[in-house]
A and B are shown apart, each in its own frame.
Chain A
Amino acid sequence: MKKIGIYPGCCFQGADIHNYDITTQFLEHMGVEGVLLDRAACCGGGVIDETNKKIVYGLNARNIALAEEKGVDLYTPCNTCYMIIAKTKLALDSDPELKKKINEILAEEGLEYKGTAKIYHTLNLIRDFVGLDEYKKKIKRQISGVKVAPYYGCHVLAPNEVAIDDPENPTILKEVLEPLGVEVVEGYKDEDTCCGYHARFTEPEQKERLAIKPLDGAKEAGADIVATPCPLCHKAMDGYDEPILQVTQLINVACGSTPEEAGINLNKTEVKLSL
C-alpha cells in the first residue's frame, strides 16, 4: 500500500478533533496508508510571522524533514498549512544558503531537509497521488439529487507559485465532486471571495462580513450545499443559513461511510444527504 505522511495542523485539534478522523477515513477509502508525523509542529498559521518570520521557515523545514525522515511525502487537508509549507519548500529549494543554515540547526535534532518530499493537499493528492481514475473506482454509491457549489478557498490557488491547479480557471474541485453523483453548481456570485477565517482574531467583524458572501452567492444560484476542501473555510462558514461541508466528508460518504462517521452530524447548519 502507498504511504503518505499526515501533517497534524491545528485543524485536528480541540473543537476540530473530528477532522483527524475524517482525514484518516478518507485515506483509508483511497487505499493509502497514513503515517502520522507525530513530532510535527504548527506551520505558523500566518501568525508566527508576527513574532519572527524566520521561525516559519524553521518550523516548516523541520515539518518537511520529519516526513523525509520517514521516507514519505507530506499531506495536509488544510489550505493554509498547504500554502505555507509549500511556500517554505519553494524558498528552501531556491536558496541553498538558507537551506544550509537551517540544516545546520536541524542536525541537532538529527533531522535534515533534503527537498525530496512533495507537499500534498486533498485535491492534488486525489489527482496526482491516487489518480483520478483510481479515485473514481473507490466510489461505491452516488449522492444524488444534491446541488453542490464548489468553494476552493484562497490558499490552494494563490500565490500562483504554489497553486494546485490553473489559478484562473480551476477545474479540479469539479472533477473531484462530479464522480460522487452530485450536481455541480459553478459560476456563482462571490465564489472566489475569501471566507475571512484569518481575521477571526484580528477583526472578528471582518470575518463575519466575508464568510456569508460565498454562502449567499451559492444559495442564490440554487445550491443545496457548499463544498470546500479546506477545514478552516468550513469552520469559518459553518453556522449560517446555507450549509457547508468538507469535500472529504462527501467523498467518505460516497465511499461507504455513514454520514455520522463522516462527521456530518457535527455541522452547526444541518445537512441532509439523500443516498
Chain B
Amino acid sequence: MKKIKYTARIKRYNPEEDRSYYQDFEVEVEDSLTVLELLMYIKDKIDPTLTFRAFCRSAICGSCAMIINNRAGLACKIQAKDKIKNGVIKIEPLKTLKPIRDLVVDQEPAFEKLKKIKPYLEPDPKVVPDNLKSESLVLPEEFARYDKQTDCILCMACYGQCNALKGDSEYLGPFQLTKVFRFIMDTRDGVDVEERIKLAEDHGIWECVQCQMCFAACPKGISSCDDILELRRIAKDVGEENIATRRAKFWFATVFETGQIDKLHLPEVAFSDEKGKKIRENMEKEFKQRGLREDEFGPKPFEGIEKFRNFIKKIEKEL
C-alpha cells in the first residue's frame, strides 16, 4: 500500500472557552483511508482529544456527516485522497448546527423540527387492515413514488449546508420536508394531505431557494429540492392560494401562451395587491424612459406557437 503525506486542516471547537479555530495535522498515511479513518488515525496517534461522531463506518448509521473541503458528506464514505487540494484536506463541522465539541454538532434542533412534521405513518383504516393476520399491500409502482426517499439515514448532511437555513434558522430543513413528501405519497397513510401540507408550510416549502445543495450533499442521492417542488405542486393542487401558487399558475399559463414567462405582469399577479400593481407601473415607466417599444415590454408568441402548445399538451398527457 502506498503512503502519502498531506495536511489535515481541522476546524475545532472548544466549549470551555467557546472558541473555534483551525488546527493543522501533518500526516503520512496509506492512500486508501476514508476521511473517517484519517480522523481515527489522528485521534489515535497525534491528538486523543480530537472529537467526532461515528459508528457504523459503512454509510448507514448517519453519524459522521461533516463538511469536507467545503461540501457536506459522510466521513466514512469519502476517500481522503480524493479531497486533498494543494496538499491540504479541510474538515469542518456541519454549518447550520451548533458545535458541541470539534466536529460534533448538536443535532437536537433538527430532530425537533423533524418531530413537528409528524414523521410517522398514521394508518388509513380503509387501506391498512385492523388485524395482524392480513397484510397491507403496497404495489411496486406505488412504492416507487417514495422508494428513494425512504433511504434517508438522517445524517443531516443536507441540513448542514442548506441555504434556506442561512436566511431563517427556523426553516424546517431539507430532510424534514422530504419526510413530509414521503408520507404524503405513502398509500397507507391516513393523515389528510392538507394537514401534512400545512405542516410543511410553516417556515417550510416556500422559503427554499432551490439552490440544489441538499441534493449535492446527500450520500443517498435524495433530492430534497425536487421533493419540495412536488410539495409545492401538491399544495397548489389542494387549493392553496398564496403568492407562490399564483406565481406558479401564471408562470405555466404564460409559457403555454407565448413560450416565455411574462415577467412584466408576474409581480402584479403573484402579489395580487397594490404593491404588485405599483411594480408593474414602475417597470412600464422605466421601459418608456429607456426607449423600449410597447411590444418589447413582454413576451410575444413565436412563430409556430400552435405546434408548441400541442407539444406541451401531449407531454402532459402521454409522457
> Chain A residues in contact with chain B, CB under 8 A?
8, 10, 13-17, 38-42, 45-55, 57-59, 62, 83, 98, 101-102, 105-106, 108-109, 154-155, 158-160, 167-169, 190, 192-194, 196-199, 201-204, 206-207, 209-210, 213
Contacts and interface: CB of A to CB of B under 8 A. Distances in A.
Q: Which 6 A-B pairs have the closest CB atoms?
A: A58-B315, A194-B163, A41-B259, A202-B244, A50-B248, A154-B211
Contacts of A199: 164, 167, 206-209
Given A13-B260, A40-B259, A202-B247, A55 B210 contact: no
B213 interface: yes
A210 B315 CA distance: 36
Given A49-B229, A55-B316, A159-B216, A39 B211 contact: no
A48 B255 contact: yes
A171 to B, nearest CB: 10
Interface string B289-316: 0001000111100111001101110111
Interface of B: 69-71, 83, 85, 163-164, 166-168, 205-213, 215-216, 226, 229-230, 232-233, 236, 243-245, 247-249, 251-252, 255, 259-264, 266-267, 270, 283, 286-287, 292, 296-299, 302-304, 307-308, 310-312, 314-316, 318-319
Contact of B166 (A38, A62, A193): A193
With a 10 A CB-CB cut-off, give which of B212, B286, B287 has the most chain A CB atoms.
Answer: B212
A109 B308 contact: yes
Contacts of B315: 54-55, 57-58, 102, 105
Contacts of B312: 55, 58-59
A160 B216 CA distance: 6
B95 to A, nearest CB: 10
A87 to B, nearest CB: 9
Nearest to A163: B216
B209 A206 contact: yes
Contacts of B266: 201
A154 B292 CA distance: 32
Contacts of A83: 212
B74 to A, nearest CB: 15
Contacts of B245: 50
A48 B315 CA distance: 13
Nearest to A53: B229
A14 B307 contact: no
B212 A210 contact: no
A48 B261 CA distance: 10
A25 B166 CA distance: 36
26 contacts: A13-B260, A15-B263, A17-B296, A38-B302, A47-B261, A54-B316, A55-B316, A57-B319, A59-B312, A105-B315, A105-B319, A108-B314, A109-B307, A158-B211, A159-B216, A167-B71, A192-B70, A196-B167, A198-B209, A199-B167, A201-B244, A206-B164, A209-B167, A210-B163, A210-B167, A210-B209
Given A17-B296, A167-B216, A168-B83, A194 B206 contact: no
A5 to B, nearest CB: 15
A14 B302 contact: no
A97 to B, nearest CB: 11
Contacts of B261: 10, 13, 42, 45, 47
Given A58-B315, A167-B71, A193-B163, A50 B212 contact: no
A233 B119 CA distance: 35
B255 A206 contact: no
B311 A158 contact: no
Given A102-B315, A169-B85, A14 B263 contact: yes
A168 B243 contact: no
With a 10 A CB-CB cut-off, give which of B209, B264, B316 has the most chain A CB atoms.
Answer: B209
A55 B307 CA distance: 15
Nearest to A210: B167
A158 B213 contact: yes
A210 B208 CA distance: 11
Nearest to B71: A168
B250 to A, nearest CB: 9
B233 A50 contact: yes
A101 to B, nearest CB: 6
A97 B83 CA distance: 36
A194 B211 contact: yes
Contact of A155 (B212, B259, B262, B302): B212
Contacts of A57: 315, 319
A42 B259 contact: yes
